[in-house]
Structure 1
Amino acid sequence: MKTKSVKLKAMTIAVLSAILPFTAYAQDKVEASVGADLVSGYIWRGTDCGGVSIQPSMSVGYKGVSLAAWGSVGLDKEDAREIDLTLGYETGGFSVAVTDYWFSYHQADGGYTGNYFKYGSHNTAHIFEATLGYDFGPLALSWNTYFAGDDYTKENGDRAYSTYIGVSAPFKLGGLDWSAEVGFTPWEGAYADKFNITNLTLRADKEIQFNKTFALPVFAQLTFNPHTQGTYFAVGISF
């Protein structure tokens, strides 16, 4: 997201340099996936990001190193278009990743803002985020910070380094797979104007079995944002 494209390339090289020595001798197969979700509402980290949306994804990984692409296109033309690219590494319960978020917004003249290849310091539609996480099994923690691009700017002009910290716990109940998440921001930024809990989410997943060979994963998600007083209930289908 900036003169920051240079910084992102440098970081990518650094991450790969640190990872590859540990994976060069592995003979594991390359794993790849492709899919899409159809959701009744795009709710992310306690924020309403759009209405009914199609969200495609694809990824390739080898021995803990992964490169993934994810997108969202709303049926309502007013919803932003989004493309996210993530380079990550995972070993055991530890994970580290760098994500490039790109957004394009609808304009009154029918076009869209957000030139994908514009990485100017103060006029880019990209946001870059660094993530550290650890999955303990019954509990997973993640720290996510915007470090470049179109981040929130404070009144004094300083970058906010907007940060979201998530704590999630999976469990099983009544034959369904559930997860509960609490998310908060530790300081002023894109999510809130100070320390605030911004996400309380309860999600349930289930596979609807149509026959012996075909099942359709579905989920329902109830979200509260104590900071904005927002309440959202969404359902999704995965293909």
Structure 2
Amino acid sequence: MKKIVLFALGMAMSMTTFAQDEVETTISADVVSNYIWRGQDLGGVSLQPTLGIAYKGFSLTGWGSVGLTDPTDTKEFDLTAAYTVGGFNIGVTDYWFNAGLDPAGRYFKYDAHGTNHVFEANVGYDFGVASLQWFTNFSGNDGANKDGKRAYSSYVEAIVPFKFASVDWTATAGAVPFATDFYNGWTSGFAVTNLSLKATKDVKVTESFSVPVFAQVAANPCTQKAYLVLGFTLIP
């Protein structure tokens, strides 16, 4: 699996059509009332910073999350290497969570049977009116299937952006296709785990500074839970 991912990244990096020509840097931070990830409730009020660079379609991004009100909320630090050309994208993410197989929560512990890291491959395509993404865990602290073996836990998601009443909207539908205990405690097979509708609007603070504010209604049909999330993004 690792060889396949590396080969695909190499092939994608050789294609520069439609790629950007200058190095771009991303610095931002979201503050959210509730951390909801793929239909899972991972914590309350959280700060989620992003730092990334991109060049000719290739990007390296660091993303994190830390709870602001509850010390037991999920702490997370993710590193993603990705490539985009035209509508096609491919990437690999190293997720680190403070909870996992290592009770001490050490970041630099990569032992196959004692790490809190999860390694995931992603491939997708943006058709313009909608995008489709597929994610699969291929190493690290993955879930188990019905036989107790590595599940190669997967998640597939369709995203539809649109504009309505001067507001940017995003509709998302996500599902877990195979049995795994990685998502929502346990899914015995195909399960819809994420249905959400998000609205984003820039709030003007000064003549030269505005803050994107968003609200999101999210539901997980598998666990029969629903959430209302409010947040804003700080971009220097």
4+ residue runs of structure 1 moved beyond 2 angstroms? Answer: 10-23, 154-157
- 1:206 alignment counterpart: 201
SS state at 1:232 partner = strand
Letter paired with 1:113: A
Task: Report how many residues are paired.
Answer: 226
- 1:217 alignment counterpart: 212
Letter paired with 2:46: S
Q: Residue 70 in 1 paired to residue 63 in 2?
A: yes
Identity %: 47
Q: Distance in 1 between matches of 2:53 and 2:80?
A: 11
Relative to structure 2, which stretch is displaced further, 49-58 or 155-164? Answer: 155-164
Q: Distance in 1 between matches of 2:158 and 2:146?
A: 30
Letter paired with 2:11: A
- 1:32 alignment counterpart: 25
Letter paired with 2:93: T
Are the equivalent residues in 1 in contact too, given 2:99–2:116 (CA < 8 A)? Answer: no
Q: CA deviation at 1:160?
A: 0.6
- 1:59 alignment counterpart: 52
Distance 1:187 1:15, change over 3 A: closer
Q: Distance in 2 between matches of 1:14 and 1:66?
A: 17
Relative to structure 2, which stretch is displaced further, 205-214 or 27-36? Answer: 27-36
Q: CA deviation at 1:18?
A: 3.0
TM-score (norm: length of structure 2): 0.89
Q: Residue 49 in 1 paired to residue 81 in 2?
A: no
Aligned-pair Cα RMSD in Å: 2.1
- 2:160 alignment counterpart: 169
Are the equivalent residues in 1 in contact too, given 2:143–2:153 (CA < 8 A)? Answer: yes
Which residue of the other structure, out of 176, 186, 193, is the alignment partner of 2:188?
Answer: 193
- 1:109 alignment counterpart: none
Q: Distance in 2 between matches of 1:176 and 1:27?
A: 27
Are the equivalent residues in 2 in contact too, given 1:79–1:105 (CA < 8 A)? Answer: no
Correspondence list, 1:72-91, <5 A: 72-75=65-68, 76-91=70-85
Are the equivalent residues in 2 in contact too, given 1:39–1:235 (CA < 8 A)? Answer: yes
Q: Residue 102 in 1 paired to residue 129 in 2?
A: no
Distance 1:116 1:186, change over 3 A: same
- 1:183 alignment counterpart: 174
Q: Distance in 2 between matches of 1:51 and 1:214?
A: 28
Distance 1:142 1:64, change over 3 A: same
Letter paired with 2:163: K
Are the equivalent residues in 2 in contact too, given 1:197–1:225 (CA < 8 A)? Answer: yes
Are the equivalent residues in 2 in contact too, given 1:80–1:103 (CA < 8 A)? Answer: yes
- 1:126 alignment counterpart: 117
TM-score (norm: length of structure 1): 0.88
Q: Distance in 2 between matches of 1:73 and 1:220?
A: 20
Distance 1:151 1:41, change over 3 A: same
Q: Distance in 2 between matches of 1:141 and 1:16?
A: 18
Which residue of the other structure, out of 225, 228, 231, is the alignment partner of 1:230?
Answer: 225
Distance 1:27 1:101, change over 3 A: closer
SS state at 1:97 partner = strand
Provide structure 2 residue ranges, at least 5 long, that are not aligned to the other structure.
Answer: none
